[in-house]
């Protein structure tokens, strides 16, 4: 079985490093302008240079998102940005707009161009046209089934195909939504979506202003536009067999912890399928799926991929399921503390190999002024030596977490 790329989100420099260290083959990131995740930390040109160097030195590719829909007045800044980024030698630009495609091909013809999912490529003829325009890859619309993806790849085999396999889904067609524009004057297609689809809605009858009629499934009301999260892990064998070249994880605004866990899970799944085979993958699938429930998420769905009719909305609440808290990461000697750790905590240590171990915190020493000092707790931004009640196979980049809400 051929091995597809695991493509991870990098909302800022730290998240890029987490993605690289936890098994990504490639990462995608945006500058401060013209990408569809304005709420992500995003990168200055200097940070982008550092990130590209970090990734390339470890054999990982970097794709730059330039996928906002441009207006006439935007092109001077887009051209300047493309020229600056060109000097950093990224592996590709991700674009939606044909004008932007033309611009980056003119300024940086040596850099590959990928067509964003925002371009709504849903058929092989469109994919063929993008190939003729100079694109090397297309990120297909999320509304396609695996059978449709397979046919597109079969008819245009020379074009790389990228498919979203994990993360938040938009209630609108491939993310082309105007709810945010109308309700909060924030343009989703410029990267500042207010996620109006996650709000609780009521009906107001024309002749009865001020009378709010709940749209009810039960006494709690309903979130009629709120999409579930995508998780295509169970369908990975079929996606690989369909010829998908890149498996994309959504989440540039998600945490470094989310980036680490999802990247390592999909990395492990790909290695199992292309190494030991499908039987080994099926045996380990329950463990991998359990790991994906330990990151912030909404109820999961396989979306449109299996071609079956299903309910893709989560009507009860727009809140995330957060069962675990990220406490720290091991640098090889000490723990870099991200959230409070106390003696007596029941914790889990997660390794990049997707193995986790339960333990109890037995003792803590915090580094202060070059010395380790015994304490009952370690606070965020401190470095600490943590003793557990059992011997653990600690390795650099191990993650410490704690179950919450139970």
Question: Domain span at residue 125?
Answer: 5-171+231-300
* Domain presence at residue 138: yes
Number of domains in the chain: 2
How high is the mean pLDDT of the chain?
89
* 40, pLDDT greater than 60: no
Give the mean pLDDT of 257-268: 97
Identify the pLDDT of residue 222: 59
Q: What share of the chain is helix, strand, coil (3-state, %, to 5)?
A: 30, 25, 40
Q: Is 355 in the same domain as 235?
A: no
Q: Is 123 in the same domain as 86?
A: yes
* 135, pLDDT greater than 70: yes
Question: Whole-angstrom Cα distance, residue 344 to residue 390?
Answer: 13
* Domain presence at residue 30: yes
* 380, pLDDT greater than 70: yes
Percent above pLDDT 90 for the chain:
72
Q: Is 15 in the same domain as 148?
A: yes
* 37, pLDDT greater than 80: no
Give the mean pLDDT of 357-382: 96
* 205, pLDDT greater than 60: yes
Q: Is 264 in the same domain as 337?
A: no
Element (H, E) at 100: helix 98-107
Identify the pLDDT of residue 211: 73
Identify the pLDDT of residue 183: 61
Percent above pLDDT 70 for the chain:
82
If you search the block for the tokens 């870099």, which residue do you land on?
A: 336
Residue 188 — very low, low, confident or very high, per pLDDT cuts 50/70/90? low
Q: Encode 321-358: b = buried (16+ Cβ within 10 Å), e = exposed.
A: bebbbbbbbbeeebbebbbebebebebbbbbbebebbe
Of 27-41, 184-198, 345-359, least confident by mean pLDDT is: 184-198
Q: Is 109 in the same domain as 143?
A: yes
Q: Is 296 in the same domain as 329?
A: no
> In CATH, what number is assigned to the domain containing residue 354?
2.40.30.10
* Domain presence at residue 185: no
* Domain presence at residue 316: no
* 218, pLDDT greater than 60: no
Q: Is 133 in the same domain as 237?
A: yes
* Domain presence at residue 205: no
Question: Whole-angstrom Cα distance, residue 10 to residue 256?
Answer: 9
> In CATH, what number is assigned to the domain containing residue 121?
3.20.20.70
Residue 227 — very low, low, confident or very high, per pLDDT cuts 50/70/90? confident
Give the mean pLDDT of 84-103: 97
Give the mean pLDDT of 167-195: 63
* 72, pLDDT greater than 80: yes
Identify the pLDDT of residue 196: 66
Give the mean pLDDT of 160-168: 95
Q: Is 254 in the same domain as 295?
A: yes
Of 346-350, 390-394, 402-406, least confident by mean pLDDT is: 402-406
* Domain presence at residue 214: no
Q: What is the CA radius of gyration of the chain?
A: 22
* 255, pLDDT greater than 60: yes
Residue 56 — very low, low, confident or very high, per pLDDT cuts 50/70/90? very high
Give the mean pLDDT of 190-201: 64
Phi first, then psi: give them for residue 190, nearest 5 degrees.
-115, 5
User: Do residues 247 and 239 lie in contact, with contact meaning Cβ atoms separated by under 8 Å?
Assistant: yes
DSSP secondary structure, 334-363, as one string: SEEESS-EETT-EEEEEETTTEEEEEEEEE
The β-bridge partners of 5 are: 246
Write down which residue in 285, 300, 315 finishes a domain: 300
* Domain presence at residue 186: no
Q: Is 109 in the same domain as 256?
A: yes
If you search the block for the tokens 């590709």, which residue do you land on?
A: 92
Identify the pLDDT of residue 304: 87
* 137, pLDDT greater than 80: yes
For 293-339, the pLDDT digits (tens) are 999 888 888 988 987 656 665 545 556 678 999 999 999 999 999 99
* Domain presence at residue 216: no
* 185, pLDDT greater than 70: no
Identify the pLDDT of residue 322: 84
Helix (H, G, I), strand (E, B) or coil at 31: strand
Half-sphere exposure of 278 (CA within 13 A, CB side): 10
């Amino acid at each position: 079985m051929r091995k597809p790329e695991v493509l991870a989100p990098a909302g800022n420099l730290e998240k890029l490093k987490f993605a690289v260290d936890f098994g990504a083959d490639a990462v995608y990131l945006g500058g401060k302008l013209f990408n569809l995740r304005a709420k992500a930390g995003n990168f200055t040109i200097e940070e982008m240079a550092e990130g590209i160097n970090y990734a390339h030195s470890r054999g990982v590719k970097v794709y730059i998102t330039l996928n906002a829909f441009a207006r006439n007045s935007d092109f001077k800044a887009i051209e300047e940005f493309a020229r600056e980024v060109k000097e950093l030698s990224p592996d590709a630009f991700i674009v939606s707009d044909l004008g932007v495609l033309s611009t980056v091909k003119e300024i940086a013809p040596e850099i590959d161009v990928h067509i964003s999912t925002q371009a709504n490529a849903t058929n092989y003829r469109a994919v063929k046209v993008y190939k003729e325009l100079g694109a090397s890859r297309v990120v297909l619309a999320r509304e396609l089934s695996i059978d449709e993806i397979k046919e597109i790849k079969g008819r245009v085999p020379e074009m790389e195909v990228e498919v979203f396999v994990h993360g938040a889904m938009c209630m609108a067609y491939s993310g082309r939504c105007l709810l945010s524009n109308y309700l909060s004057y924030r343009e989703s297609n410029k990267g500042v979506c207010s996620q109006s689809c996650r709000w609780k809605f009521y009906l107001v009858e024309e002749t009865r202003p001020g009378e709010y009629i709940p749209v009810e499934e039960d006494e709690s009301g309903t979130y009629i536009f709120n999409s579930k999260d995508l998780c295509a892990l169970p369908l990975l064998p079929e996606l690989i067999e369909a010829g998908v070249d890149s498996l994309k994880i959504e989440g540039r605004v998600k945490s470094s912890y989310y980036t680490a866990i999802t990247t390592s899970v999909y990395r492990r799944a790909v290695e199992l399928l292309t190494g030991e085979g499908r039987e080994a993958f099926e045996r380990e699938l329950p463990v991998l799926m359990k790991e994906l429930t330990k990151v912030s998420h909404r109820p999961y769905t396989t979306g449109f991929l299996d071609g079956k009719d299903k309910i893709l909305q989560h009507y009860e609440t727009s809140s995330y399921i957060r069962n675990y808290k990220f406490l720290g990461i091991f640098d090889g000697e000490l723990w870099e503390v991200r959230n409070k750790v106390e003696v007596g905590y029941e914790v889990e240590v997660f390794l990049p190999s997707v193995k986790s171990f339960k333990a109890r915190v037995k003792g803590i020493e915090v580094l202060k002024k070059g010395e380790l000092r015994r304490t009952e707790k370690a606070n965020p931004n401190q470095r600490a030596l943590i003793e557990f009640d059992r011997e653990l196979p600690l390795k650099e980049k191990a993650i410490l977490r704690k179950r919450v809400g139970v």
